[in-house]
């Protein structure tokens, strides 16, 4: 993840050593990471075989000082030389802009109005989902996954086991927002929403929220759950709520 990327950046600073990020951490906001593990392996093989060009790719991580104040922001640490090939590396996380707040609240109000009684909602991390917590008045972690029932938090910062125990035998939905600039809805920062959780809930019960500004900067939604079968099940189009009563279709790749 980003913490390891920072350690490597410190270790190779000033040296001309190419680095490929294998996405196997929790937070992967930096742009040295491949879109999945297989893509990282292919990139390494092609670099060795064909001497691919390298470019400077950004290393970022959560700003810990801001996070302790309850603010989610990303801090720039530097650049690493990374082999490049079209469609293999993810973009750096793009932070939300201050003008997104009003849009996030509109989306949150629409979702809150349409939430169903006695349905368990698994709510992923992100500022748009955090706005939903503000509207409904439930307690929400900034970077964690929380479980909500009838407007109240029944599990805060839940792990996979807790989520599975709370959704088994019940109607459940998952609410997520893509990572800005990258488009990932699963497999980046929300691994608690595991392939087992997704299979139990089903694609038809996944609610995706994103501001218009955010979707302007991503070409598609992405998944990297670590389970090829679940990734394949998720691919195709899905509705994205982009405003109060406004939806658009986006492809999951």
The yes-or-no verdict on residue 70 having pLDDT over 80 is: no
Angle among Cα 161, 163, 165 to the nearest 5 degrees reads 70
Instruction: Report if residue 33 sits inside a domain.
Output: yes
The confidence score (pLDDT) of residue 110 equals: 98
Verify that 125 and 211 share a domain, yes or no. Answer: yes
Verify that 199 and 123 share a domain, yes or no. Answer: yes
Identify the DSSP state of 192: T
**For the chain, how far is it from start to end, CA to CA, in angstroms?**
22
The confidence score (pLDDT) of residue 65 equals: 82
Q: Which residues pair with 121 in a beta bridge?
A: 148, 173
Buried b (16+ CB within 10 A) or exposed e, 208-235: bbbbeebbeebeebbbbbbbeebbebbb
Please tell me the pTM assigned to this model.
0.93
Binned at pLDDT 50, 70 and 90, residue 182 comes out as: very high
Verify that 68 and 162 share a domain, yes or no. Answer: no
- pLDDT tens for each residue of 128-138: 999 999 999 98
Q: Going by DSSP bridges, is the β-strand pair 74-83/236-243 parallel, antiparallel, or unpaired?
A: unpaired
Mean pLDDT within 33-51: 97
What's the rounded Cα separation, in Å, for the pair 189 and 231?
16
Instruction: Report if residue 92 sits inside a domain.
Output: no
Q: Which of 138, 252, 136, 143 is nearest to 198 (CA)?
A: 252
pLDDT top residue among 142 and 54: 54
Angle among Cα 115, 187, 159 to the nearest 5 degrees reads 65
Verify that 53 and 136 share a domain, yes or no. Answer: no
Q: How many domains does the chain have?
A: 2
Binned at pLDDT 50, 70 and 90, residue 69 comes out as: confident
Q: Which residue has the tokens 């060009």?
A: 53
What's the rounded Cα separation, in Å, for the pair 242 and 61?
27
Q: Tokens for 27?
A: 């937070």
Mean pLDDT within 214-222: 95
Instruction: Report if residue 88 sits inside a domain.
Output: no
Instruction: Report if residue 190 sits inside a domain.
Output: yes
Residue span of the structural domain in which 71 resides: 2-83
pLDDT top residue among 70 and 201: 201
The confidence score (pLDDT) of residue 170 equals: 97
Instruction: Report if residue 91 sits inside a domain.
Output: no
Q: Which residues pair with 207 in a beta bridge?
A: 175
Instruction: Report if residue 20 sits inside a domain.
Output: yes
Q: Going by DSSP bridges, is the β-strand pair 246-252/236-243 parallel, antiparallel, or unpaired?
A: antiparallel
- pLDDT tens for each residue of 190-217: 999 999 999 999 999 999 999 999 999 9
Inter-CA distances, 134 with 22, 127, 162, 233, Å: 35, 10, 23, 32
Verify that 75 and 144 share a domain, yes or no. Answer: no
What's the rounded Cα separation, in Å, for the pair 88 and 36?
8
- pLDDT tens for each residue of 83-110: 999 999 999 999 877 678 999 999 999 9
Mean pLDDT within 43-52: 96
Verify that 79 and 104 share a domain, yes or no. Answer: no
Verify that 69 and 110 share a domain, yes or no. Answer: no
Mean pLDDT within 36-49: 97
Instruction: Report if residue 177 sits inside a domain.
Output: yes
Q: Which residues contact 234 (CB under 8 A, 6 or more apart)?
A: 186, 198, 203, 206, 223, 225, 252
Verify that 64 and 133 share a domain, yes or no. Answer: no
Given 83, 108, 142, which residue is the final one in a domain? 83
16 three-state secondary structure = coil
Verify that 141 and 197 share a domain, yes or no. Answer: yes
Verify that 134 and 237 share a domain, yes or no. Answer: yes
184 three-state secondary structure = strand
Verify that 46 and 168 share a domain, yes or no. Answer: no
The confidence score (pLDDT) of residue 73 equals: 84
CA-derived radius of gyration, the chain: 18
């Amino acid at each position: 993840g980003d913490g390891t990327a920072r350690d490597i950046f410190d270790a190779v600073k000033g040296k001309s050593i190419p680095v490929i990020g294998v996405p196997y951490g929790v937070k992967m906001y930096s742009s040295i990471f491949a879109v999945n593990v297989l893509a990282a392996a292919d990139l390494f093989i092609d670099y060795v075989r064909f001497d691919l060009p390298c470019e400077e790719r950004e290393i970022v991580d959560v700003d810990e000082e801001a996070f302790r104040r309850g603010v989610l922001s990303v801090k720039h640490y530097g650049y690493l030389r990374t082999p490049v090939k079209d469609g293999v590396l993810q973009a750096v996380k793009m932070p939300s802009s201050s003008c997104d707040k009003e849009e996030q609240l509109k989306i949150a109000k629409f979702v809150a109005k349409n939430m169903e009684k006695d349905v368990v909602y698994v709510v992923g991390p992100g500022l748009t989902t955090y706005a939903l917590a503000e509207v409904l008045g439930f307690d929400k972690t900034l970077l964690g996954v929380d479980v909500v029932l009838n407007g109240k938090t029944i599990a805060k910062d839940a792990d996979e086991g807790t989520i599975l125990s709370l959704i088994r035998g019940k109607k459940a939905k998952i609410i997520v927002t893509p990572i800005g600039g990258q488009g990932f809805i699963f497999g980046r920062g929300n691994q608690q929403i595991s392939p087992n959780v997704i299979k139990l809930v089903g694609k038809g019960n996944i609610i995706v929220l994103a501001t218009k500004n955010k979707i302007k900067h991503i070409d598609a939604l992405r998944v990297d759950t670590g389970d090829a079968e679940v990734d394949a099940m998720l691919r195709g189009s899905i509705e994205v709520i982009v405003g109060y009563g406004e939806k658009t279709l986006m492809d999951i790749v």
